Structure formats: C-alpha cells, structure tokens
Amino acid sequence: MRAERASRPRRPVVDLTDEQARRALPLKWGTVPKDVIPAWVAEMDYAVDPVVMEAVQRALADGVTGYPLEHDPALGEAYAGWAGRHFGWAPDPEAVRAVVDVTAGVRVAIEVLSGPGGVVFPTPGYNAQHGLAGITGRAEHLLELPASATTAEIDLDRLDALLAGGAQTLLLTQPHNPWGRAFTRTELEGIRDVVVRHGARVVSDEIHAPLVLPGAEHVSYLAIEGTHDHAVAVVAASKAFNIAGLRCAQLVVPDPQARKALDAEPMARNDSWSPLGVVAARAAYDHGDPWLASLVERLDEQRTLLQELLSTHLPEVRMRPLEATYLAWLDASALGHDDAAAVALERGRVMVSDGASYAPGSTGHVRLNIATSPERLTRIVERLALAWT
C-alpha cells in the first residue's frame, strides 16, 4: 500500500518561517518569547496542503459560514475512500458521524454507549484526555507503563484485572501519543479477547493513523474481526493536515444500534463542528494523498535526524522507537533533571512538553515535536544538550 502511494506525484511540504509560524500557529508560536523555539503542542511548522487551503478559501468565497449538515453523506464517503486506500479496510460510509474534535468524540461515545463502570486509560497518555472519565461521571483507572519499560505495550494481564474489577471501557489511543507506537494486528486481537471476555467497550482514538512511518502500519481496531459490536473509532484529518482549528473530526460507528443511540441524543450532546472543517476534511480525504506522501517522507527523515542528533549530542537520553506520529518520547532522567522541560526552557530556550502531564508522577521525561525544519530540529537538540548537560 505504501509503495503504491509512493509512486504517485507528490506535493512538497513547505516549511514556515518563524514569522509565518507566529501568524499561523498562535498557540504554539505566539505564546512563547521570540528567543524560544517551540517544540511542544502537536502542530506542524508546515504550510497547509494547498489543495485543502484552496477548498476552504473557495468555501469562504461562497459564504459557507452557516450551520453544517447534521449528517453529511459526502463526508462518510470521503473518509471511507481514504481508509480503503490507506489502510486496506473501510467502514460503511453510513457509519461515519461528524463531531467537533477527537476528544469531544471520545467523550460523547463514552457518555452515550459505555456502561457506568470506570474507564481504563493507558499512561503515559494524551494529556488532554486525563480526567476525561471523571467528566463523564466515571472513575479513571490508569494502566501505567513503567518509565523503565523498554517497549510500549498494553499489559493485557493488568487490563484483564481492571475490567474484572468493574471498569467497562478501554480508551485506546492508536497509534499512540506519546508512545509513538502503531499497535500490531496481533496486539489488537489480544486486546479484543480481553475486552470481549468482560463484555466491555473500546473507544479507539485513531487521530494519528495517517502518520504511521515506514516500517510500521496502521491497523484500525475496527478492522479486527469481532469488534464492531463493542467499539467505535474516532478519526480526523486534523493532525495529518494541520487543520485542528477548523474543528471537524469523525466518529466511526459500525454497529447500527449504537448509531441509533447516538442519533437519538439531544443536539446539545454533539454539535458545534464547523462547515469549513467538513470542507477541509473532505478535501484532505479526497485529494490529500500527494501531500501526505511528502509529509510522511519528511517525518521519516526527521526521525532519522533526531536519532543521529541524540547520538551525537545527548547519548544518555533514551528514545523509544518512533513508529508513528511526529512526537518523540524522550527519557532524560539519566541526566538528573526531575523537570527536564523546565530546564530546557530556562537554560536552552526550547519549549517541550513536560512528561508529567502524560504520566502523572513521572520525572525526567519530555515529549518533543519533530514536525519542523531540519535546521530547527538541529538547533533544538543542540540547545537541549547545552541545557541538560
């Protein structure tokens, strides 16, 4: 599948200058002093795919600023076509529902479809979803990956124990942020077997699915046999195409009864996605393959560059293999800094994400965003070396 995509014409990835990035990415770049290089929040320092940008500009010229359709069949068709081309598995287009963003989709899926028991949340885990279980009125059960672990895997025995103890939902992030893992079919089958044994549900956050790097592949949890009656996936074009601010993700709900339950909910349960987000998502899914191919190639190069830079400048820093996403999980604990992110900012003028926000109680870990230019990534690691050593 990847070889087929690689043979297609490409659209180049264009690096934003510092000034362009400050205008385009107000959170990532606009909230730090000008002498700080931001490498934290999950946004890329790249210009949006011109095809996606042109689609949004046409929609604005046409005055598409009103309410979106409650159910847009074209969005389902676009996602199904995309999934079929990229992952070798596609849902029924009728299974696709719009939501405002992935975290909102996770929340509505838990609130409407899950039992009242707790939610299992593997950590280190996406910091914006810490506490999400409590918002839905459910207990949060952390399935912790020890900082010393050499591989990032779901502990099936621990999952089994948590579900046996009353938890009823697994919030699965795959590909995983910040582990950088793309779970294999065998791993997902093992998770399914445990979940089915306890009659539990899975909400699979698959926002990073387009960003699996060479050497790995994305297998949707819904592509595993025997999952459609107990699982939904939450997907989006936002991470791969840098369009999170346009506000449109999708729930993939293969079970007809679950779709009826969601559709029967009051509008206040799930609304506020943007019609411009729908336009952008459809353009990305229908026409974004050439740009995405260039992006994955660039991220693969950045991954290799980061490994080389760490080996040269920070050999004591450990990085787990990066199979997917543009977010590297770094263990700098050997250098003796409990809050490595704070030291990086104070001494190195680099802003990275504090690992404790993903793994409460952990020390010495950071998440580093590599979706920038090779020159910036080089300066980032050089500055980290000056700060940490």
Q: What is the pLDDT of residues 169-222, one digit of tens each?
A: 999 999 999 999 999 999 999 999 999 999 999 999 999 999 999 999 999 999
Helix, strand and coil percent figures for the chain, each rounded to 5: 45, 15, 40
Q: Please report the pLDDT score of residue 149 as a whole number.
A: 73
Q: Please report the pLDDT score of residue 158 as a whole number.
A: 96
Catalogue all structural domains in the chain, each as residue range(s) with its CATH number: 2-49+289-388 (3.90.1150.10), 66-286 (3.40.640.10)
Q: Which amino acid is at 28?
A: K
Alpha helices, DSSP H, located in the chain = 2-6, 18-24, 50-61, 73-87, 102-113, 132-135, 156-164, 185-197, 238-241, 256-263, 275-287, 289-313, 340-348, 374-388
Q: What is the pTM of this model?
A: 0.95
Instruction: Say if residue 12's pLDDT is above 50.
Output: yes
Query: What is the share, in percent, of the chain residues with pLDDT greater than 90?
Result: 92
Q: Please report the pLDDT score of residue 8 as a whole number.
A: 59
Q: 172: closest CA among 223, 214, 207, 216?
A: 207
User: Can you tell me the distance from the alpha carbon of 31 to that of 167, in angstroms, rounded to the nearest whole number?
Assistant: 39
Is the CB of residue 352 less than 8 Å from the CB of residue 36? no
Is the CB of residue 252 less than 8 Å from the CB of residue 96? yes
Q: Please report the pLDDT score of residue 1 as a whole number.
A: 45
Instruction: Say if residue 349's pLDDT is above 70.
Output: yes
Is the CB of residue 118 less than 8 Å from the CB of residue 93? no
pLDDT band at residue 271 under the 50/70/90 scheme: confident
Bigger pLDDT: 152 vs 326? 326
Read off the pLDDT of each residue in 70-74 and give the average, rounded to a whole number.
93
pLDDT band at residue 147 under the 50/70/90 scheme: low
Structure tokens at 121: 């949340």
Is the CB of residue 244 less than 8 Å from the CB of residue 43? yes
pLDDT band at residue 148 under the 50/70/90 scheme: low
DSSP 285-321: HHH-HHHHHHHHHHHHHHHHHHHHHHHHH-TT-EE--
Q: Is 382 exposed, middle or buried (0-12, 13-18, 19+ CB in 10 A)?
A: middle
Read off the pLDDT of each residue in 52-65 and give the average, rounded to a whole number.
98
Angle of the 73-87 helix axis to the 275-287 helix axis, nearest 10: 30
Instruction: Output the average pLDDT for the chain.
Output: 95
- Residue 175: cis peptide before it, omega within 30 degrees of 0: yes
Question: Which of 143-157, 271-285, 290-304, 336-350 shows the lowest mean pLDDT across its residues?
Answer: 143-157
Instruction: Say if residue 11's pLDDT is above 80.
Output: yes
Place of tokens 């074209």: 74
Instruction: Say if residue 287's pLDDT is above 70.
Output: yes
Is the CB of residue 141 less than 8 Å from the CB of residue 132? no
| 366: enclosing H helix or E strand | strand 365-369
pLDDT band at residue 4 under the 50/70/90 scheme: very low
pLDDT band at residue 17 under the 50/70/90 scheme: very high
User: Can you tell me the distance from the alpha carbon of 291 to that of 283, in angstroms, rounded to the nearest whole number?
Assistant: 12
Report the DSSP pairing between strands 140-144 and 327-331.
unpaired
